[in-house]
């Protein structure tokens, strides 16, 4: 059952201060009393101000917490992936997934959700038509859509932190609670732990320094790549340079670091796709890059975007790809 | 050459030195010059050599060439339309280049190689120029040419917005488009410079050749015709020169705002309205200013600040100051 709304979004002005009841001269009143004579234009403006004051500020978006939901619409790739991985019971509660769910460049569940499950972009009408009781929204969901969904009784769940495996674990547990199947969530995390253990066992004794760089941006500290690098046995150069987040890093600066490994993304589902070789060649062809240790030693590694940019299970996949490539090339 | 032109010409090597000694790679001017000297002698200097020789030097030279091209194109446009507010973008050529570049990015052509987007953008500039000439007609008046250019630019901008809206879910595409539209010299090297030289060289030569006819046009269309200027031919050649200059510049570096508008006015403060001195002086001012803007963009921090942003941030207030100081009639010379 959906949780009851905590407050009505359209009645935020206390009853005792409703416009019709405001007495003339009341301190702090936003509504002008009737007996005040004003020119027509000013009266019109006053009415508009009064209406806006009566409508009040929009209600804050309500978090769903971990309350169960029966009709879930997902608007993030992470939720598309996790809800599928949680199994049939969770999948049965999903009435819509994001429009990016089938894009193999970003999504780990491309072509997996049945065609009967609608793919929806972030439009209020499209989402409301699915009659969800829970919408998993993205950080860029507009305040208007949030407010509209909220005012129609749809609970909102937004994940705001995507900085590695710890956040992923928290997200899996929350979604498992929402679909009332915590055991499925724990199974998912056990699988992840097993993969991380295998990665740890293969980790080289001496870590290689790597920079994740594409289109003038590097993934520094506090990013999912930072966790990926750590579990793969690499050190994140951008983080070691004191940078945080996904930051613009000029080509000259990146070259001057002389990275032993350059990791970049490629628009392909698998690492052996020719598009990944092309992406590596494109980075190698950039001016100055040929002089770096990474280019000299053939350690420019392209990882499929859906793994490198993943904030979910794909992070482990990215680490596995990096280990496969870099360990295979080491004596 | 006048003393002002000599001073402006001398500013270019100074700007180049500033640019060569600036960058996040922590290489000073002395070391950079040493690297260039030894590189010219055939030495391979490894990483630091690559930073100076493959990144800083060609980038600074390209900035100078692009700045000169945009400024000369601006002087031509202001002369042709006898309007101080005319800038190279008014003919829609840069918008055509931008549209094709955005479409190229949308279809992932940038992955084909460094050459792909510049080539596609150059095709767009040429297509826009051809469309403009076809729409305006050979005998069209200046007003028709100007309005056709404005309409073409608006159409291209609208189509760019359509592309962005259709692909709004592709965040990497959006990022590339935004950075391309802001203009950048990031990652430009010798190949880009070699691609820019032929069209920019031809365009600059055309611009210098057209100076006398533009001076005659400054007296009015009737006066120019009575002095033997073939006005339809002049319009065609100016459009061709602007197309070459702006098309090549935009194709290689994206949209750099205000250089083509402000540099001719700065030059006009010293040279006066005559195009014989104005066009070369504007090109020199544009070259040194753009080199310095790129140096500032790189010295501000280790991160990427597009020079197109700096040209707008500096150019717009400077233009307002100039407008207030001299008035529209003063700007027109």
Residues of A in contact with B108 (CB under 8 A): 267
Residue B11 lies in a domain: no
Q: Which of A259, A287, A294 to mutate to test the interface with B (most CBs of B within 10 A)?
A: A287
The whole-chain average pLDDT of chain B stands at 86
Helices within chain B (DSSP H only): 3-20, 29-40, 46-50, 57-81, 93-106, 116-136, 142-166, 171-182, 190-209, 211-218, 221-226, 231-253, 259-271, 275-299, 307-332
- From the list B47, B58, B304, which residue is nearest A216 (CB)? B304
Give dist(CA A183, CA A174) in Å, integer.
12
CB-based contact A94:A72 (threshold 8 Å): yes
Query: Do the Cβ atoms of B233 and B271 come closer than 8 Å?
Result: no
- Highest mean pLDDT out of A60-74, B46-60, B105-119: B46-60
CATH of the domain at B272: 1.10.3470.10
No. of helices (H) and no. of strands (E), chain A:
14, 11
| Residues B25, A248: C-beta atoms closer than 8 Å | no
Contact A248 B303 (CB under 8 A): yes
Please tell me whether residue B138 adopts helix, strand or coil conformation. Answer: coil
Of A158, A74, A81, the residue nearest A313 (C-alpha): A81
The predicted pLDDT at position B224 comes to 86
- Residue B53, domain member (yes or no): no
| Domain assignment of residue B230, yes or no | yes
- Is the pLDDT at A147 greater than 90? The verdict is no
Domain residues for the domain of B183 are 65-332
Answer yes or no: is B172 within a domain. yes
* Contact predicate B249/B70, CB 8 Å: yes
Question: How far is residue A290's CA from residue B315's CA, in Å, rounded to a whole number?
Answer: 36
Q: Say if residues B23 and B55 touch (Cβ distance below 8 Å).
A: yes
Interface test with A, best of B28, B45, B50 (most A CBs within 10 A): B50
Query: Does residue B123 belong to any structural domain of this protein?
Result: yes
Higher-confidence residue of A114 and B133: namely A114
In a domain? residue B37: no
Percent of chain A with pLDDT over 90: 52
Burial class (CB in 10 A: 0-12, 13-18, 19+), B108: middle
SS3 of A288, please?
A: coil
pLDDT value at residue B304: 64
Neighbour-count burial for B63-82, b at 16+ CB within 10 Å, e otherwise? bbbbbbbbbbbbbbbbbbbb
Check whether A199 has a pLDDT greater than 90: yes
Of A100, A247, A250, the CB nearest to B298: A250
- Domain assignment present for residue B302? The answer is yes
Residue A211 dihedral angles phi and psi, to the nearest 5°: -125, 130
Weakest mean pLDDT among A5-9, A184-188, B181-185, B288-292: A5-9
What is the tally of structural domains in chain B?
1
Rounded-to-integer distance, Cα A90 and Cα A71, Å: 10
Q: CB neighbours (10 Å) of residue A299? A: 21
From A83, A148, A5, A241, select the one nearest B303 (Cα to Cα): A241
- Percentage of the residues of chain B whose pLDDT score is greater than 90: 31
The pTM for the full model equals 0.73
Q: Nearest 10 degrees: CA dihedral of B69, B73, B76, B80?
A: 160
Tens of pLDDT, residues B184-229: 888 888 999 999 999 999 999 999 999 889 988 888 888 888 888 8
Q: Which of A252, A258, A266, A267 to mutate to test the interface with B (most CBs of B within 10 A)?
A: A252
**Maximum average pLDDT range among A77-81, A152-156, A161-165:** A77-81
- ipTM of the shown complex: 0.72
Q: Is B36's pLDDT higher than 80?
A: yes
Contacts of B47 in chain A (CB under 8 A): 255-256, 258, 288, 291-292
Q: Which residues pair with A248 in a beta bridge?
A: A217
Question: How does residue A127 score in pLDDT terms, banded at 50, 70 and 90?
Answer: confident
Q: Between residues A53 and B319, which one has the greater pLDDT?
A: B319
- Three-point CA angle B121, B122, B125, nearest 5°: 90
Q: What is the mean pLDDT of residues B220-249?
A: 87
Establish if B211 belongs to a structural domain: yes
Mean pLDDT of A273-278: 92
* Residue-range domains of chain A with CATH: 15-55 (no CATH), 72-190 (3.40.50.1980), 204-329 (3.40.50.1980)
* Span A34-58, average pLDDT: 43
Reported as a single tens digit per residue, the pLDDT across A313-323 is: 999 999 999 99
Contacting residues for B117 by C-beta, under 8 A, at least 6 apart:
B101, B104, B105, B109, B110, B180, B251
Residues B302-333: b if buried by 16+ CB within 10 A, e if exposed: bbbbbbbbbbbebbeeebeebeeebeeeebbb
Q: How confident is the model at residue B43 (pLDDT cuts 50, 70, 90)?
A: confident
């Amino acid at each position: 059952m959906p949780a009851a709304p905590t407050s009505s979004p359209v009645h935020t002005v206390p009853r005792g201060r409703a416009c019709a009841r405001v007495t003339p001269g009341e301190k702090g009143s936003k509504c002008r009393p009737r007996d005040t004579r004003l020119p027509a234009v000013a009266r019109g403006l006053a009415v508009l101000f009064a209406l806006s004051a009566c409508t009040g500020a929009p209600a804050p978006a309500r978090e769903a917490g971990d309350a169960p939901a029966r009709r879930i619409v997902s608007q993030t790739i992470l939720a598309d992936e996790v809800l599928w991985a949680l199994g049939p019971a969770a999948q049965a509660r999903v009435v819509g997934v994001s429009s990016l769910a089938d894009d193999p460049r970003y999504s780990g569940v491309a072509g997996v959700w049945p065609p009967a499950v609608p793919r929806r972009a972030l439009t209020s009408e499209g989402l409301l038509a699915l009659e969800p009781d829970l919408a998993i929204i993205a950080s860029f969901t507009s305040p208007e859509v949030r407010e509209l969904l909220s005012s129609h009784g749809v609970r909102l769940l937004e994940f705001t932190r995507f900085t590695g495996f710890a956040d992923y674990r928290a997200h899996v547990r929350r979604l498992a609670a929402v679909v009332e199947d915590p055991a499925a969530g724990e199974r998912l995390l056990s699988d992840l732990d097993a993969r991380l253990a295998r990665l740890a066992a293969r980790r080289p004794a001496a870590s290689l320094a790597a920079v994740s760089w594409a289109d003038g941006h590097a993934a520094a500290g506090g990013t999912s790549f930072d966790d990926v690098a750590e579990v793969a046995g690499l050190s994140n150069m951008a983080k070691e340079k004191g940078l945080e987040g996904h930051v613009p890093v000029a080509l000259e600066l990146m070259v001057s670091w002389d990275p032993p490994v350059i990791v970049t993304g490629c628009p392909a589902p698998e690492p052996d796709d020719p598009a990944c070789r092309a992406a590596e060649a494109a980075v190698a062809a950039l001016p100055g890059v040929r002089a770096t240790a990474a280019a000299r030693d053939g350690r420019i590694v392209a990882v499929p975007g859906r793994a490198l940019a993943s904030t979910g299970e794909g992070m482990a996949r990215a680490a596995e790809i990096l280990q496969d490539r870099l360990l295979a090339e080491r004596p | 050459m006048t003393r002002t032109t000599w001073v402006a010409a001398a500013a270019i090597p100074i700007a180049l030195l500033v640019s060569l000694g600036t960058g996040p790679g922590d290489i000073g001017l002395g070391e950079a010059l040493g690297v260039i000297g030894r590189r010219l002698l055939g030495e391979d200097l490894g990483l630091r050599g690559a930073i100076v020789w493959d990144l800083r030097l060609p980038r600074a030279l390209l900035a100078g060439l692009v700045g000169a091209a945009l400024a000369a194109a601006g002087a031509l446009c202001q002369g042709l339309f006898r309007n101080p507010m005319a800038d190279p973008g008014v003919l829609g050529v840069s918008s055509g280049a931008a549209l094709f570049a955005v479409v190229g990015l949308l279809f992932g052509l940038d992955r084909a190689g460094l050459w792909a987007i510049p080539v596609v953008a150059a095709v767009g500039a040429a297509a826009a120029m051809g469309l403009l000439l076809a729409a305006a007609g050979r005998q069209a008046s200046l007003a028709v040419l100007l309005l056709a250019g404005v309409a073409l630019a608006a159409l291209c901008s609208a189509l760019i917005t359509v592309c962005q809206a259709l692909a709004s879910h592709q965040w990497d595409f959006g990022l590339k488009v935004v950075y391309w539209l802001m203009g950048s010299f990031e990652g430009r090297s010798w190949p880009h410079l070699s691609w820019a030289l032929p069209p920019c060289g031809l365009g600059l030569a055309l611009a210098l050749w057209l100076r006398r006819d533009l001076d005659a046009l400054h007296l009015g269309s009737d006066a120019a015709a009575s002095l033997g200027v073939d006005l339809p031919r002049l319009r065609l050649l100016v459009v061709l020169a602007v197309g070459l200059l702006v098309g090549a510049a935009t194709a290689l570096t994206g949209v750099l705002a205000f250089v083509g508008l402000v540099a001719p006015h700065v030059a006009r403060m010293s040279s006066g309205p005559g195009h014989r001195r104005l066009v070369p002086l504007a090109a020199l001012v544009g070259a040194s200013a753009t080199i310095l803007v790129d140096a500032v963009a790189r010295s501000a921090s280790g991160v990427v600040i597009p020079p197109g942003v700096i040209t707008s941030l500096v150019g717009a207030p400077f233009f307002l100051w100039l407008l207030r100081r001299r008035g529209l009639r003063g700007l027109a010379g």
